[in-house]
Structure 1
Amino acid sequence: MTHPAVADLIARSNRLGADARNTNYAGGNTSAKATDTDPVTGQDVELLWVKGSGGDLGTLKEAGLAVLRLDRVRALTDVYPGVDREDEMVAAFDYCLHGKGGAAPSIDTAMHGLVDAPHVDHLHPDSGIALATAAEGEALTAECFGDRVVWVPWRRPGFQLGLDIAEIKEQHPQAIGCVLGGHGITAWGDTSEECENNSLEIIRTAEEFIAARTAGEHPFGPVRPGFAALPETERRARAAHLAPVIRGLASTDAPQVGHFTDADVVLDFTAREKLPALAELGTSCPDHFLRTKVKPMVVDLPADAPVEDVVTRLRELHETYRADYAAYYERHATADSPAMRGADPAIVLVPGVGMFSFGKNKQTARVAAEFYINAINVMRGAEAISTYAPIDESEKFRIEYWALEEAKLQRMPKPKALATRVGLVTGGASGIGKAIAERLAAEGACVVVADLNLDAAQEVADGLGGPDVAVAVRADVTDEDDVAALVDAAALAFGGVDLVVNNAGLSISKPLLETTTKDWDLQHDVMARGSFLVAREAARVMVAQDMGGNVVYISSKNSLFAGPNNLAYGSAKADQAHQVRLLAAELGANGIRVNGINPDAVVRGSGIFAGGWGAQRAATYGVPESELGAFYAQRTLLKKEVLPEHVAAAVVALTGPDLTQTTGLHIPVDSGVAAAFLR
């Protein structure tokens, strides 16, 4: 049964975390102290429940709390070896756990355990960090709050910071909380409601204080001529063109997934006079720069500069950024520092267009963008009331390459086989295409589900996990403009595309003398022309990324096997099969592998078979339509029906880590049709 204090803590945390004005995603932590019964002794024991490492307040559940014995946490003050060795105290928290202890305790556990208040909130509101990063932050905090909120100079999170805040609370009994220099806020209360109200009072008071001083000249200065936002259609077209180039650059050290935003706050910041100077100063709150890196890469060309010039400049700026980051590492690294993790930017700002952000998956990339928007808000607030003054570069390095942060990274699960890959599946709303989309997502890929039926494609995308995993796009693969828009959508959603599955298809079974030109043209338009258009537009992106790639054609055993009443379909599939060979020969120099899969008839779950093809083929072979799958199975060597998931498995085999030297291959997935053996 959930302890009442825990229920109140979860509810408070969820309310605070649901409002982006209060704290950023996965940022901050909350706690409660209360008495419970020790199941061993039957005696009362004081416990501390505190949000564990890596959790998010907005979605926090009881399983995300660390549970510690309060007496043991406070006893750690007697063995604290001093600030030079305070990292050792994190391991000591494991000896304070109650029962199984719940989630792993975070670095901020000491703050919550040592502050003498039943309820404590530590948050990262933009308004609070604006005060915390203002050059006159201490004086402005006093002006804003009087003696209700106390200034705490910057200190890296840890045991000593917990001691500092505990002392502040003891020495200022009238205070409801504090502003942590360069970092955020902490509030406390005797009840959960009082603690939440105190947190909100600090946040809203700071907001009002900043707003009252924002009238008049814009904190970021005037708009630079030529740097204002482009019209939306032009802006997004340019973003789609640039995204693969930027993603390729950001993936120099390790493949990344991208995210694009042209939110008003970003477009305003990139248009302003102070952009170069403020961006160079970088972010301040540890939660920000751990996800955005210490500073972004900023394009220094006007919004309407020719795209070719922007691409050239991006490559130059990227080289400079990498050299600058390596120099930053060399300035501060010690013999004990972890190896440099990568010198590519996580945030790229393009005036007039927007912000491109990158991470190991879509969620990480999206959250990086959200954090940089937090940073923009912080800089705007600090500039409105003073001058933005983030923590020193050396302090940023101490956190970015903190041994504790490195240990957290090492605990991360091993990436899945297709992690960081962006897949695009045509005909992805049903049958083979749906199975492929599901399998790609299960293996860690982001997926663009393309189909004529947008509602069905959206249902598939939602089932895969929503926009952080998959997006749905309506696309007619026979239409050149639709295909270009489809590939642009992939670039805007995930930064580009790495893995294309040409699966869209249909079939009309008729004897030669009954086959019309319309029948012929439709099947060749969808499968031969459609595959060509999709491969061409995807190849443009893959070449721009310079990250290699995979194109897979779902052809058919009918590309080899000559059956009755099947001229148009079989010819279109033969066209696809030869496209595989031709494109493998042409695109190999770009590291793009092109392969094909030749399934036998996949009846179960197939939109093609359900749409009339099944009835036509059943009539051709003289069997009931309900027994068509079994009929096909009996003519194979293995006597087993081919299912959509069997084709999906072949896609993963061709695009995963095991067949990296294979191109121009056709894999039969037909349970053994001897007449379709490759010769």
Structure 2
Amino acid sequence: MTNPAAAELIARSNRLGADPKNTNYAGGNTSAKGTETDPVTGEPVELLWVKGSGGDLGTLTEPGLAVLRLDRMRALVDVYPGVDREDEMVAAFDYCLHGKGGAAPSIDTAMHGLVDAPHVDHLHPDSGIAIATAADGEQLTRRIYGDKVVWVPWRRPGFQLGLDIAAIKDKNPQAVGCILGGHGITAWGDTSDQAEANSLWIIDTAASYIAEHSKAEPFGPALEGYHALPDAERRAKAAALAPTIRGIASADRPMVGHFTDSDVVLDFLSHAEHPRLAALGTSCPDHFLRTKVKPLVLDLPATASVEDSIARLQELAVTYREDYQAYYDRHATPDSPAIRGKDPLIVLVPGVGMFSFGKDKQTARVAGEFYVNAINVMRGAEGLSTYSPIDEAEKFRIEYWALEEAKLQRMPKPKPLATRIALVTGAASGIGKATAKRLAAEGACVVIADLDGEKAAATAAEMGGPDVAVGVAGDVSDEAAVEAMVAAACLAFGGVDLVVNNAGLSLSKPLLETTERDWDLQHDVMAKGSFLVSRATARAMIEQGMGGDIVYISSKNSLFAGPNNVAYGAAKADQAHQVRLLAVELGEHGIKVNGINPDGVVQGSGIFAGGWGASRAAVYGVDEQDLGKFYAQRTILKREVLPDHIANAVFVLCGPDLTHTTGLHVPVDAGVAAAFLR
């Protein structure tokens, strides 16, 4: 059963973490002290429960807590070797743990254990960091709070910071917390409710003071031509720029993107001081660890053309990489970790918005949220004073901290399709749905494109929602709709690099009963539709410069002359030859093009459920419910082909093992000799 102190801590943490004004995602930590019976001695033992490394306050549960013996933790004071070796203390926390399981203790554990208060909160509120990063933050702290909140000069998180805050609390019994220069706030209380109230009072008091005393234009006057573009124009330009920007952010390693055009971002970029402030970078360690030292900022007005913007972004990317290398070289020591990549994680485009990047969609989205936090901090600091973040050398010490490097090394190995962005057509049912699910399970972000938008959205929700998949409605035979699908992929994930042409339908009729409309409909969806999707997505892939995969779900009917399906078979033969043609044409861009030839896939198929199944059953003289079994019996292996079998083949073609295969058609038909490739 959860200890009452720990239960109160979890509830308090969830409340604080649920409101972004209090702290950013995964930012800050909270703790509680209490007593339990030691199962070995049967005697009471004082314990510390503290949010562990890497957790999030808003979603914290008991397994996310580290539990330590206070007597052993406090005894570390006597063996503390000093600031130059304080990183060793993190490993020492492991020898203070109580029981088994629980989370790994974070670097801030010392702050919570050494401060003499039953309940402690350390948070990263925008309002608090605004005071912490103001040039006269110490004077502002005294002016705003009197002696109830004490200023603590910047110090890197660690054991010494814990000692410093503990000493400040001892010397200031009237204080309820402190402002940590360049960093955030810490508050405490005798009860959980008191600690929470003190935290909220510090946060809200800072916010109120900023609102009442801030200058009218913290970011300077509006810049002519840098205004936010109208909604439709803004998003169209963002979609057009996204592949270029993703390519820039992925020069060292592939990244997933996120686009934000919030009022906060657009307002920042429309004012005169944004270049100066962006160049100063963020300050709170949580911020710049996720956003890098500074963003790449396009120095053109909102009215600049897409072509001019692309050309300038590519120039700026070269300069950004050179600047980052110089930053690393200025501060690296012989024992520093190797440089982790020189590409920007935040790209700002005036009038359009912000593109943020990470190893997956959630990481990219959170990076963007952190930069919004940074903008809010800059606004508050500039409104009262001058924004003055921690200096570059300190940022480097944290960014290339051995403890951060160790944390990165502990990250689980990425899945085979991590960072890949897939667009699957006809993905709300049958083969398309099974394929989309398999690609997502292997780490890809997936755009579920389907004629039925509601089903597409429902399928995306089943797969985990917008950090994994998004649903879009679209008719693949409509050029504008296809362009909109690709734009949606670019806005959702930054681009596209894995395409599955699966959308299809079929009408089973003999030649003399096949109408012109029948012919046109099937060719429009499959032959023309695949062409339109491949053309639009290839354009994005080429702009990204990251290679890619296009897979056609063709059919054994592209080779096999089955009865009463002239329109369907001819359309599938068209798709099959598109594979060969595009494999030759797109190879120079690193884009592989392959096809899959299934036999009749009955289970879950929208085509079969829509009348094709009944027609084919009539042709072969079997009951429609037995059609799958009939197809199986005519194969060499006597096995029914299911949607998952097609999905497996798509993964193999796009996965890490067939990197040198293009122009191939893979039969997934359980063996139909008449459809053998020859």
Secondary structure, counterpart of 1:630 in structure 2: helix
- 1:430 matches 2:399: no
How far, CA to CA, are the matches of 2:125 and 2:30 in structure 1? 14
Local SS of the residue matching 2:422: strand
Alignment of 1:190-205 (within 5 A): 190-205=190-205
Superposition pairs of residues 115-264 of structure 1, within 5 angstroms: 115-216=115-216, 218-264=217-263
Q: Is the 8 A contact 2:215 2:384 kept in 1?
A: no
Partner secondary structure for residue 186 of structure 1: strand
RMSD: 0.6
1:107-160 Cα offsets, whole Å, 9 max, x none, are 000000000000000000000000000000001000000000000000000000
Q: Which runs of 4+ in 1 moved over 3 A?
A: none
1:520 alignment counterpart:
519
- The 5 Å alignment of 1:80-479 reads 80-216=80-216, 218-479=217-478
Tell me the alpha carbon deviations over residues 260-280 of structure 1, each in whole angstroms, 9 at most, x when there is no partner. 111001001011100111011
- SS in structure 2 at match of 1:102: coil
Q: CA deviation at 1:2?
A: 1.3
Shift of 1:463: 1.1
Q: 2: CA distance between counterparts of 1:650 and 1:367?
A: 33
Paired position in structure 1 for 2:7? 7
**Per-residue deviation, 1:391:** 0.2
* CA distance in structure 1 between the aligned counterparts of 2:101 and 2:93, rounded to whole angstroms: 10
Which one-letter code corresponds to 2:20 in the other structure?
A
* Structure 1 residue identity aligned to 2:19: D
Tell me by how many angstroms 1:101 deviates.
4.5
Once residues 631 and 6 of structure 1 are traced to their aligned partners in structure 2, the CA distance between those partners, rounded to angstroms, is 62
Give SS of 1:98's match: coil
Amino acid at match of 1:359: G
Question: What is the SS of the residue equivalent to 1:46?
Answer: strand
TM-score (norm 2): 1.00
* Distance of 1:234 and 1:455 partners within structure 2: 26
CA contact (8 A) 1:68 1:101 kept: no
Q: What letter corresponds to residue 202 of structure 1 in structure 2?
A: I
Matches within 5 A, 1:558-637: 558-637=557-636
Provide, for residues 395-429 of structure 1, a one-character-per-residue CA deviation record: whole Å limited to 9, x for no partner.
00000000000000000000100000000000000
Q: How far apart, in 2, do the equivalents of 1:343 and 1:327 lie? A: 10
- Alpha-carbon deviation of 1:494? 0.4
TM-score by length of 1: 0.99
1:442-496 Cα shifts (integer Å, max 9, x gaps): 0000000000111111111011110001000001001110000000000000000
Cα distance in 1 for partners of 2:478, 2:611 equals: 24
The 1-side partners of 2:440 and 2:345 are apart by 23
| SS of equivalent to 1:147 | coil
1:13/1:30 contact within 8 Å kept: yes
Distance 1:102 1:70 in 2: 16
Q: How far apart in 1 are the matches of 2:420 and 2:187?
A: 42
CA contact (8 A) 2:63 2:101 kept: no
Question: Are the aligned partners of 2:597 and 2:665 in contact in 1 as well (CA < 8 Å)?
Answer: yes
Aligned counterparts of 1:675 and 1:14: Cα–Cα separation in 2: 63
CA distance in 1, matches of 2:452, 2:104: 45
2:441 maps to a residue whose letter is A
Looking at structure 2, the residues matched to 39 and 646 of structure 1 have their Cα atoms a distance apart, in angstroms, of 53
What SS does the aligned partner of 1:552 have?
Answer: strand
Instruction: Write the distance in 2 (CA, Å) between the matches of 1:315 and 1:514.
Output: 56
Letter in 2 for 1:490: A
**Structure 1: gaps (5+ residues):** none
Structure 1 position 672 matched with structure 2 position 674: no
- Shift, 1:215, TM fit: 4.7
| Secondary structure at 2:100 match in 1 | strand
Write the distance in 1 (CA, Å) between the matches of 2:246 and 2:334: 32
CA deviation map 1:587-639 (0-9, x unaligned): 11111110000011111111111111111111110111111111101111111
Flag structure 2 segments of 5+ consecutive residues without an equivalent: none
Which residue is equivalent to 1:68?
A: 68
Match of 2:30 in 1: 30
- In the TM superposition, what is the alpha-carbon distance from 1:84 to its structure 2 partner? 0.4
1:5 Cα deviation after fit: 1.1
The separation in 2 between residues aligned to 1:458 and 1:303, in whole angstroms, is: 32
* CA distance in 2 between partners of 1:54 and 1:506 (Å): 48
Cα contact 1:475–1:483 (8 A) shared by 2: yes
Instruction: Quickly say closer, same or farther: Cα 1:28–1:152, change in 2 above 3 A.
Output: same
Amino acid at match of 2:259: F
Aligned residue identity for 2:174: Q
- Identity rate, percent: 77
Contact 1:555 / 1:597 at 8 angstroms: preserved in 2?
yes
Structure 2 counterparts to residues 474-553 of structure 1, below 5 A:
474-553=473-552
User: What whole-Å deviation, never above 9, does each CA across 1:545-587 have from its counterpart, x for those lacking one?
Assistant: 0111100000000100111111111111000000000111111
Query: Could you tell me how far apart the structure 2 residues matched to 1:671 and 1:625 are?
Result: 20
C-alpha separation between the residues in 1 aligned to 2:661 and 2:144? 66
